[in-house]
Structure 1
Amino acid sequence: MEWRGDNRGQSVQVGAILLFATLIIALSTYQVTVVPEENSRIEFDAYQEASGDIVELRNSVLSTAAGDGVRGVTVKTGAQYPPRIFLVNSLQPRGSVETTNPGTVTLGNINGSVSQFEGVGEYVQEEGNVLDYPTKLLRFEPDYNYESGADTYVTNGFVYRDYDRPIPRASQTLIRGNTITITTIAGNLDESGYQTSLTTVPVSAHVNTVTVTNESAGPVTVTLPTRLNATDWNDTVLAGSEKVKNVTRGPRPDTVTVQLEGNRNYELKVAEVELKGANDDGEVNDPGGRYLVRQTDEYVTLNSDDRVRLVAEARDIFNNPQSNLAVKFNTSAAGLDLTTSTGLSPADNQIVRSNAEGNAVVWAVANDTFDSGTVTATLGTDTSGTDVEQVTFTVSEPQAGSGGDGDGGTSGGQISDVDDSTPTDEDTALVFDIENTGSSDVTVTNFSVSTPGRQNSGASSLNKLNHHNSPEVKITGGGTDGSADEPGNGNDFDTDGTTYSLDTDAVIESGSQASVTMQKMNSGDLQLTYDLTDDSANADVTVTLTFEDGSTKEIYLRVTNVNS
């Protein structure tokens, strides 16, 4: 028998091969065209999210610098592709966040003698009227497979993408109005991965604001490290800043110098923040103490119990308080001893540690043989400090007719603030009552307002008093009313500690109360909720009244809410 061939299955086999080939071609086409397109879109979205995370990191740095403590932020430094069963992804991109470009911010041609506290001027003068602060830039460096996103930098609050012309993502905080805010970055941050968890740690938060002006005829200058040129700073970073005269190339490579208007007072705030990985140990040490300022008056009188409280604040190079620093108080005055509490034996010297507000506190205690004498406070455990490391207090017996509360001289010692005399709700004016508790009339001749912002840094947004054609300051109801009116359209009283004269002196009679009104804050654009406090360490706003005999009385206001 002869068998015949059978090819009936060949068409099925050929069809299967063609179908498989078609599938392979489709997958290859998808791999070559669709997968890169999808992954590119994922990377683009990741880049946008990472830019937002860097802005959030910048905000955390600024919040930490302002005293809000340690904060944590997660930055999406990479991108994550979806799993593909029959297709292949590139390696997952892993970007990085790092501190880089170490340099120095230099504040030049400054004079600190206009500050509320005498020690500031001496410190600035000892530094040659130039203050240097080391810092670094913060950089996010993406490493995508398909997208070519530019690096993102943070410098003095300004966040930008580093293209040929910078693309801003958040505005600068260096110069705003008459306020200079220098936020330096420390630490050796270098984190990479799909996402990184970071921590901002305060090294020195700018809880203090000091007033500075130009030392010589030239402008106040701020020289800072940057990758941007002077044109970028003029046209983009500082565009619209009224107090900026010009930005020029700096004296060092990769620096610019910002020139500010001269013959003006500027409020200076300086802070240092460490950036590190969330699980890393801190590497930056506390800056230590640099100088002392008096938190009680230089000339004080004993209370009725023959004691008076003396407070010296220890500050670092950033002008901020430092805790746990040794301060030695000593006196050689006959009949005067020092003690840190009523339970300790008085002695002619005491070494105390500064508290959380940087304040070192002793009590001067007198006996019957005491008339007057001085107490010296020195930063450290000996008495060989430099001029800026020492402050002195002159203690004396109260004069006849003085209230003797240790808060000024004869007239100032008779004045006390009246509890619960501030507004219960937010207000555009500073309003409080004072009382003359002495046996003689007192005359108020001058006043000043400053915004130390020791508990609420938002109080520093108060920069002027202006009530247009009405008196900005009124002292009424105590006997003879007094007032001060800054004449002219648009003129105002600055709240930078500048002392102004009353147009009409106010007389507060013995045993009388007077109401003090200072209006309107920032021309009515600012409302504060506040109350009185006896502790200067809690003062956000300080009002100083000067009397005819040259003595003073400080009124401390603690701000609980800011509405601008």
Structure 2
Amino acid sequence: MDVREADRAQSVQVGVIFLFGFLIVGLSLYQVTVVPEQNQQVEFNAYQQAAEDLTDVRNDVLTAAGRDTTIGTTVKTGVEYPSRAIFVNPGPPPNRLATTGERNVTLENVEAVDSEAENTRTFLESNVSGRSYATRDVVFTPNYDRFTGQPMVVTGHQSYRVAGDRPIPMTGQTVLQEDRIRLIRIDGDLEAGGSSVGVTTEPVSPATRTVVVQGKNDEDITLRFEPPSGISASGWNETTGQELRTANPQRVERVVEAPDGSHVEVILNGSMTYRLQLATVEVRDRETQRASEDPVARYLITIQPSTQTVRTGETTEIVVEVRDRFNNPVSGETVTVDGSPRGALDSTSERTDGDGTVRFEYTAPENTGADSVDLSINDGSESYERVAIGFDVVSQAAGAPGSEPPIVDITSPSEGESIEDDFDLNATITSIDQSGTPILAANWSRQSPVNTDPEPFDSISADGPDGCSYCVIDGTQPIDISGWTSGEHTLRVTGRDASGQVGNDTVTIDVAEPDLTFTDLRDSGDRLVFGIANEAGQEVTIEEVGVDATAIDTEIYVDHDNNDREVQITGTSVQDGHIDTRGEKTFSADGTLYDLENGGNNGQYATLGPDDSDVEIDIRYFSQDLGSLEYTTDEANADVSVILRLSDGSEYTFHFRQSN
């Protein structure tokens, strides 16, 4: 063999070995540099998706706390690395989504106003003011291989990222908005991880009732919070505390930290009134069963005046409501008749319905005089577990003057009249051809949906004949409906004459929902712009907005990239509104309602003045072109619907369909 040929063969072998070595080195460098960088970006994207999902969980908490609706959201807790034929990915990250231990929220020095039922006032004083509510938080703890993410926390009043011991708000706070105090207690035992976790949020005691409160003796009200998981009192004060002070300067007097850092105190102006709402929801893994106990009966109120006048043999209805410790109605609780009234009842006990109410039929005895029906819950040992409905039983017989009570006639408003603004209640009371004696008292009260004690008319004029001018009187009472819920309200007017007899009349009116109407369609395609007008005759506030485009595609969402304001509400005379999800694609067009202030970043409610007739709703930009739309009132054939939810809970939906 030629020696030179052997040398050439050895050179080829050495070259192959060198090339193989370079390949191994290159692959190794790619594994330790490029693969980690790519995975870090994948982990960052997964973390951002988890943030969007937790914002949805926060919205679920708000919805379940106010609507008695169970909602589910899937939270992306893991990460999906790209498939690699040669290179190696790390194992699944041990990220965890869990509920924390309990912390306390306390409301101090608060009392219900005089217009609330007596038992409501008594219960709040002894069982709400100064008592603590134990609540939990939902915490996502990331532990990715490369990306270092901050823990994220969902509480009953806000959601945060946690930087050190300082919260970075992901949503606005809901504990105090204008005059509404809303305390949402979170319960549940959640501990899960993996690729994703199905989270169910279920109402335990939804805030379907509101109690108007103020400070005792007009002194300051204190809201005391133990800080959420991982957050210090000073950090909470510098962020959420500052937000509270800025948004409510007339109501929030100061926010202070305990010297030992154990809690913060929000001091509210107690001379002002507040609408108090309390709620409990359970947050749990979708695969587990509800663990929270059903709320139990705590106090009893009447849904009518505590004293009524009836004729002998007359049948009337007694309606009472049972409430839990959060002032919300409780179903399935037993209300018992105590003692033996002179009149007859159709039952000695009844169970509350889905609205927490029971009804008894009372038939007055044949003998005139006083009667009382006593009702109770539980063992009746507490005063707020009992109510007494008094009856003044008067004669049915007609005849000479002196035998009949005065005639009461409510002249306005009329039965069933729709009321949109403050109004005057007018009534005429006469004893002519009845007792023939002067009218000594004329009172009015609300009978439902809340019961108020009778109050004298503001203005009374005598209109009777000579010798008995007060045998006929006209009464006028200005009625302020601010704070009244929409729907039916029954008013009662009573008149008592000098013989001691009492007559009455009632009228049921319909307090109209604030009326928002469609005016014109201004743009459609990858955005939807239309006009509305406020014809309610009063200010209305839009708090939540939702879009449902699932008839076109179930995956459509609204995203304005990294710009703000996916939804803008402009042209108002009081306050324009918007929501900003900052390109996180959290605004799904699947009918989910998003809170303008708390569904994204730096949002703002929209308040329309009573004469606003050119308000614009601008929703941008849809992930898929909606095509050319036209307005329709036919919900069944709608392709896109926009839902506006007002501060009083009423909703308005505007429907659009694709034009041919």
Equivalent residues in 2 for 1:9-88 (5 A)? 9-88=9-88
Indicate if the aligned counterparts of 1:81 and 1:92 stay in contact, CA closer than 8 A: no
Counterpart in 2 of 1:361? 359
The two structures, once aligned, show a CA RMSD in angstroms of 4.2
Matched, 1:170 2:171: yes
Equivalent residues in 2 for 1:108-147 (5 A)? 108-127=108-127, 129-147=129-147
Give the Cα separation in 2 of the matches to 1:23 and 1:419: 91
Indicate if the aligned counterparts of 2:446 and 2:492 stay in contact, CA closer than 8 A: no
Counterpart in 2 of 1:6? 5
Counterpart in 2 of 1:195? 196
Counterpart in 1 of 2:266? 258
Matched, 1:223 2:224: yes
SS of 2:320's equivalent in the other structure is strand
* Residue 177 of structure 1: how far off its partner (Å): 1.4
SS of 1:362's equivalent in the other structure is strand
Give the Cα separation in 2 of the matches to 1:443 and 1:557: 31
Relative to structure 1, the CA distance from residue 442 to residue 269 in structure 2 (aligned partners, 3 Å threshold; closer, same or farther) is farther
Equivalent residues in 2 for 1:421-436 (5 A)? 421-422=417-418, 429=421
Deviation string 1:359-405 (CA, Å, 9 cap, x unpaired) is: 1211111242353300111003x5x4310100110022357899xxx
Matched, 1:392 2:391: no
Selected match of 2:370 from 350, 364, 372: 372
* Residue 58 of structure 1: how far off its partner (Å): 0.8
Opposite residue 344 of structure 2, the aligned amino acid is: D
Tell me the percent identity. 27
Indicate if the aligned counterparts of 1:188 and 1:275 stay in contact, CA closer than 8 A: yes
Selected match of 2:246 from 239, 258, 262: 239
* Residue 116 of structure 1: how far off its partner (Å): 2.1
Opposite residue 96 of structure 1, the aligned amino acid is: R
* Residue 9 of structure 1: how far off its partner (Å): 4.0
Relative to structure 1, the CA distance from residue 391 to residue 518 in structure 2 (aligned partners, 3 Å threshold; closer, same or farther) is closer
* Residue 255 of structure 1: how far off its partner (Å): 1.9
* Residue 357 of structure 1: how far off its partner (Å): 0.8
Counterpart in 2 of 1:287? 295
Deviation string 1:155-179 (CA, Å, 9 cap, x unpaired) is: 3321111114421110111011121
Deviation string 1:23-51 (CA, Å, 9 cap, x unpaired) is: 22222222111111111111111112211
Give the Cα separation in 2 of the matches to 1:149 and 1:506: 74
Give the Cα separation in 1 of the matches to 2:181 and 2:443: 28
Indicate if the aligned counterparts of 2:106 and 2:130 stay in contact, CA closer than 8 A: yes
Relative to structure 1, the CA distance from residue 282 to residue 128 in structure 2 (aligned partners, 3 Å threshold; closer, same or farther) is closer
Deviation string 1:465-521 (CA, Å, 9 cap, x unpaired) is: xxxxxxxxxxxxxxxxxxxxxxxxxxxxxxx989998765599999xx999996896
Give the Cα separation in 1 of the matches to 2:260 and 2:336: 41
Give the Cα separation in 1 of the matches to 2:54 and 2:273: 33
Counterpart in 2 of 1:475? none
Higher RCO structure, 1 or 2 (CA under 8 Å, sep 6+): 1
* Residue 190 of structure 1: how far off its partner (Å): 1.4
Counterpart in 1 of 2:209? 208
Indicate if the aligned counterparts of 1:123 and 1:388 stay in contact, CA closer than 8 A: yes
Relative to structure 1, the CA distance from residue 138 to residue 515 in structure 2 (aligned partners, 3 Å threshold; closer, same or farther) is farther
Give the Cα separation in 1 of the matches to 2:38 and 2:447: 58
* Residue 102 of structure 1: how far off its partner (Å): 0.7
Q: Which moved more, 1:286-295 or 1:435-444?
A: 435-444
> TM-score w.r.t. structure 1 length?
0.74
* Residue 125 of structure 1: how far off its partner (Å): 2.9
Give the Cα separation in 2 of the matches to 1:255 and 1:376: 44
Unpaired segments of 5 or more residues in structure 1? Answer: 341-349, 403-408, 455-495, 523-527, 534-541
Deviation string 1:240-294 (CA, Å, 9 cap, x unpaired) is: 2231111122498632111100212111100000111101011110120111111
Task: Give the number of equivalent residue pairs.
Answer: 485
Deviation string 1:310-355 (CA, Å, 9 cap, x unpaired) is: 1111111101110001110234333x11114xxxxxxxxx111111
Opposite residue 392 of structure 1, the aligned amino acid is: A
SS of 1:262's equivalent in the other structure is coil
Counterpart in 2 of 1:464? none
Opposite residue 292 of structure 2, the aligned amino acid is: V
* Residue 142 of structure 1: how far off its partner (Å): 1.2
* Residue 415 of structure 1: how far off its partner (Å): 7.6
Matched, 1:351 2:377: no
Counterpart in 1 of 2:279? 271
* Residue 557 of structure 1: how far off its partner (Å): 4.3
Indicate if the aligned counterparts of 2:458 and 2:477 stay in contact, CA closer than 8 A: no
Relative to structure 1, the CA distance from residue 311 to residue 420 in structure 2 (aligned partners, 3 Å threshold; closer, same or farther) is closer
Q: Which moved more, 1:437-446 or 1:129-138?
A: 437-446
Counterpart in 2 of 1:470? none
SS of 2:223's equivalent in the other structure is strand
Counterpart in 2 of 1:320? 328
Give the Cα separation in 2 of the matches to 1:39 and 1:55: 24
Give the Cα separation in 2 of the matches to 1:420 and 1:25: 87
SS of 1:397's equivalent in the other structure is strand
* Residue 87 of structure 1: how far off its partner (Å): 0.5
Opposite residue 351 of structure 1, the aligned amino acid is: S
Opposite residue 154 of structure 1, the aligned amino acid is: V
Indicate if the aligned counterparts of 1:276 and 1:282 stay in contact, CA closer than 8 A: yes
Opposite residue 363 of structure 2, the aligned amino acid is: V
Relative to structure 1, the CA distance from residue 254 to residue 21 in structure 2 (aligned partners, 3 Å threshold; closer, same or farther) is same
Give the Cα separation in 2 of the matches to 1:444 and 1:168: 57
